[in-house]
């Protein structure tokens, strides 16, 4: 393994740069822009037991420092993912983590069983989608429900299990601890923040309002994410994957300093579709130039 | 070839009272089909802005835009020789048929239709291009249009293009209609096409994030094989058959 390699305690990545669920498709879609196989891992769009059509109405809007989405977990479902996308991932030598969403524990468990059968080596549970009215968000906000869910998935899935935590809680520590106790191998933080955008247009004396409610992401959420990672780092012993507004190498280093072992790039994939590949190159160059022997040594210095 | 380019502004000029033409030159020529779009990174803004292509001379990409918000304000501020970050071309294109064609463009929607006209002319396909604008000052200079309508009657026929389509269909007898413009215009054109049994192809618009179909942010409902399914404007479109779109009222 190279200088940038990272071992999350059961999951080896060639570098710590991943792409976040929902921003990168299922497999090789970004090959229009970059060589996807160079990235540490892509996290697939959230996949559910059955295909989902997602939400109606306006699904995205830009905000001052990011965007709000209300896609509603539109996806092809697990069967089609296994049939069509996994061969594409393998053929292109792409390291992937499958993101899973469900409304009931049983749905998560059924999908996790299929992942076990397919020998999918890592999954990330979306327990906190702000755009789905079912029970999904409940798992992410209540530590007892989360413990129950993670334990149930753990019982049927032996691969690397990541729990993606929501910032829309009073104490993210409690959720991180519950995930760890239930047998998760890592947590990723953070999912999107709940946000609402109201755009006003005055037409003939009346306001036309365009309201989009959903998950807020982008550079504006970075301090919230770093806060969450720092707090989790103090209380849990499993690795943390940092997510939230990452665009530059400095952002990546700040997340390492806060305690993240790896990071995911989300919204920035839309702004600059080559962000992940660029960050891998810049991190490599930075380590070479600054004289650190390895990524671990760099992280140690950043946290000293 | 990867679809992201560091490019330069080759030309930028005001071409009507509210619209601007910008021509972008990439390191290597980029070839674009009529109906396809590019996306432009606008300094500091999260979402790239999509624009249908208006011209493609010598592999340079020309677009026509109006200042509508922060993104277009930034593009308007660019000068000849400035760097510009573009990606594309994205999306499908008009499915050019060797059939007598009626081309309809409303407002800034005339841009991709004008580009389609040059393609049809090059292939010697008979066509008639009708475009509608608010008034005569809004007509982009240099755009070759067969029939112009203005809402206030200051040039050509008075009123919306929609007022004339029925008559033109009867007189000109097109075998296919290609259109771009506001949602309501495309809806009515599609309905007329169905009524008269003429194929319609419409170029749609929607706020986009990724531009390549992955984020599912720009979906519309379309009818396919008796079912209603999601289609992304950015990848499955932007050109759809008018009779396949489920039109919102």
pLDDT tens readout for residues A149-198: 999 999 999 999 999 999 999 999 999 999 999 999 999 999 999 999 99
What value does the mean pLDDT of chain A take?
A: 94
Looking at the fold, whether B98 and B192 belong to one and the same domain comes out as yes
Mutate to test the interface with B, among A30, A62, A210, A267 (most CBs of B within 10 A): A62
**Closest-CA distance of chain B to residue A294, Å:** 31
pLDDT attached to residue A48: 94
pLDDT band at B159 (very low <50, low <70, confident <90, very high): very high
pLDDT band at A103 (very low <50, low <70, confident <90, very high): confident
Looking at the fold, whether B150 and B230 belong to one and the same domain comes out as no
pLDDT digits (tens, 9 = 90+) for B165-205: 989 999 999 999 999 999 999 999 999 999 999 999 999 99
Looking at the fold, whether B199 and B230 belong to one and the same domain comes out as no
Average pLDDT score over residue span B219-226: 92
Kindly state whether B246 is in contact with chain A, defined as any CB-CB distance less than 8 angstroms. Answer: no
Sign, CA dihedral B13-B15-B20-B26, equals negative
**Domain that includes residue B49, residue range:** 4-90
What ipTM score was computed for the predicted complex, to two decimals? 0.92
Q: Give the residue numbers of A annotated as catalytic, written as ranges.
A: 129
Q: Where are the domains positioned within chain A?
A: 6-57+72-193+217-303
Looking at the fold, whether B76 and B106 belong to one and the same domain comes out as no
Average pLDDT score over residue span A192-212: 94
Chain A residue numbers with beta carbons less than 8 Å from the beta carbon of B45 are: 62, 271
Looking at the fold, whether B105 and B166 belong to one and the same domain comes out as yes
Rounded Cα distance, A8 and A11, in Å: 5
Contact B214 A69 (CB under 8 A): no
Looking at the fold, whether B60 and B126 belong to one and the same domain comes out as no
pLDDT at A236 over 70: yes
Domain count for chain B: 3
Kindly state whether B72 is in contact with chain A, defined as any CB-CB distance less than 8 angstroms. Answer: no
Instruction: Point out the domain boundary residue: B55, B90, B125.
Output: B90
Looking at the fold, whether B165 and B233 belong to one and the same domain comes out as no
DSSP string, chain A: --TT-EE-SS-EESSSEEE-TTSS-SSSGGGGTS-GGGSSEEEPPPB-SS-B----S--EEEETTEEEE-----B--HHHIIIIIHHHHHHTT--EEEEE--SSHHHHHHHHHHHHHTT--EEEEE---TT--STHHHHHH-HHHHHHHHHHHHHH--SEEEEEEPS-SS-HHHHHHHHHHTT-SEEEE--PEEEEEEEEEEETTEEEEEEEEEEEESGGGHHHHHHHHHHHHHH--S-EEEESS--SHHHHHHHHHHT-SEEEE-THHHHSTTHHHHHHHHHHHHHHHHT-SSHHHHHHHHH-
**Spatial CA neighbour of A264 closest among A15, A14, A20:** A20
Instruction: Point out the domain boundary residue: B63, B90, B117.
Output: B90
Kindly state whether B77 is in contact with chain A, defined as any CB-CB distance less than 8 angstroms. Answer: no
Closest alpha carbon within chain A to B1: A32
* Fold of the domain built from segment(s) A6-57+72-193+217-303: TIM Barrel (3.20.20)
Closest alpha carbon within chain A to B49: A271
Contact A63 B218 (CB under 8 A): no
Average pLDDT score over residue span A230-252: 98
Mutate to test the interface with A, among B207, B217, B235 (most CBs of A within 10 A): B217
Contact A63 B46 (CB under 8 A): yes
Looking at the fold, whether B151 and B108 belong to one and the same domain comes out as yes
CATH number for the domain spanning B147: value is 3.40.50.80
CATH number for the domain spanning B42: value is 2.40.30.10
pLDDT attached to residue B248: 81
Looking at the fold, whether B193 and B100 belong to one and the same domain comes out as yes
Contact A270 B210 (CB under 8 A): yes
Looking at the fold, whether B18 and B46 belong to one and the same domain comes out as yes
Contact A53 B210 (CB under 8 A): no
pLDDT at B73 over 70: yes
Closest alpha carbon within chain B to A63: B46
Contact A45 B48 (CB under 8 A): no
> Coil, strand, or helix at residue B26?
strand
Looking at the fold, whether B177 and B100 belong to one and the same domain comes out as yes
Question: Residues 27..46 of B with a Cβ closer than 8 Å to A: which?
Answer: 41, 45-46
Looking at the fold, whether B156 and B220 belong to one and the same domain comes out as no
């Amino acid at each position: 393994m190279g200088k940038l390699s990272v071992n999350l305690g059961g999951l080896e990545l060639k570098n710590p740069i991943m792409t976040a669920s929902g921003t990168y498709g299922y497999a090789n879609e970004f090959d229009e822009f970059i060589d996807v196989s160079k990235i540490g891992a892509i996290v697939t769009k959230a996949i559910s037991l059955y295909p989902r059509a997602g939400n109606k109405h306006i699904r995205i809007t830009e905000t001052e420092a990011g965007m709000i989405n209300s896609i509603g977990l539109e996806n092809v479902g697990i069967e089609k993912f296994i049939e069509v996308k996994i061969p594409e991932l393998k053929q292109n030598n792409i390291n992937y983590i499958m993101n899973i969403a469900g409304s009931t524990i049983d749905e998560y468990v059924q999908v996790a069983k299929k992942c076990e059968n397919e020998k999918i080596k890592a999954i990330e549970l979306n327990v906190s989608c702000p755009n789905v009215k079912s029970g999904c968000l409940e798992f992410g906000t209540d530590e007892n429900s989360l413990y129950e869910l993670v334990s149930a998935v753990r019982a049927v899935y032996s691969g690397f299990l990541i729990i993606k935590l929501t910032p829309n809680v009073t104490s993210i520590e409690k959720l991180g601890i519950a995930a760890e106790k239930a047998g998760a191998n890592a947590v990723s933080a953070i999912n999107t923040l709940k946000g609402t955008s109201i755009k006003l247009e005055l037409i003939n004396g009346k306001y036309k309002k365009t309201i989009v409610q959903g998950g807020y992401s982008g550079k504006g959420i970075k301090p919230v994410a770093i806060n969450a990672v720092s707090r989790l780092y103090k209380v849990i012993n499993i690795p943390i994957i940092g997510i939230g507004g990452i665009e530059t190498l400095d952002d990546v280093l700040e997340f390492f300093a806060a305690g993240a072992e790896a990071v995911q790039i989300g919204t920035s994939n839309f702004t600059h579709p080559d962000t992940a590949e660029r960050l891998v190159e810049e991190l490599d160059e930075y380590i070479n130039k600054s004289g650190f022997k390895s990524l671990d040594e760099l992280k140690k210095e950043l946290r000293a | 070839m990867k679809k992201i380019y560091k490019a330069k502004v080759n030309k930028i000029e005001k071409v009507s009272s509210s619209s601007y033409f910008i021509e972008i030159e990439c390191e290597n020529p980029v070839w674009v089909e009529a109906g396809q779009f590019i996306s432009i990174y606008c300094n500091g803004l999260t979402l790239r802005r999509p624009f249908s292509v208006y011209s493609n001379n010598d592999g340079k990409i020309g677009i026509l835009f109006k200042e509508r918000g922060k993104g277009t304000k930034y593009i308007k501020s660019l000068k000849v020789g400035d760097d510009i970050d573009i990606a594309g071309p994205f999306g499908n294109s008009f499915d050019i048929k060797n059939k007598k064609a009626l081309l309809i463009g409303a407002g800034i929607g005339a841009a991709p239709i004008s580009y389609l006209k040059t393609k049809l002319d090059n292939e010697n396909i008979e066509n008639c291009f009708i475009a509608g604008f608010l008034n005569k000052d809004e007509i982009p200079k240099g755009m070759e249009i067969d029939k112009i309508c203005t809402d206030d009657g200051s040039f050509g026929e008075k009123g919306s293009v929609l007022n004339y389509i029925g008559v033109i269909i009867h007189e000109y007898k097109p075998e296919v209609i290609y259109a771009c413009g506001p949602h309501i215009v495309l809806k009515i054109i599609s309905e007329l096409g169905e009524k008269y049994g003429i194929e319609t192809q419409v170029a749609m618009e929607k706020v986009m994030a990724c531009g390549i179909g992955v984020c599912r942010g720009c979906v519309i409902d379309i009818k396919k094989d008796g079912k209603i399914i999601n289609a992304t404007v950015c990848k499955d479109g932007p050109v759809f058959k008018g009779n396949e779109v489920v039109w919102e009222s």
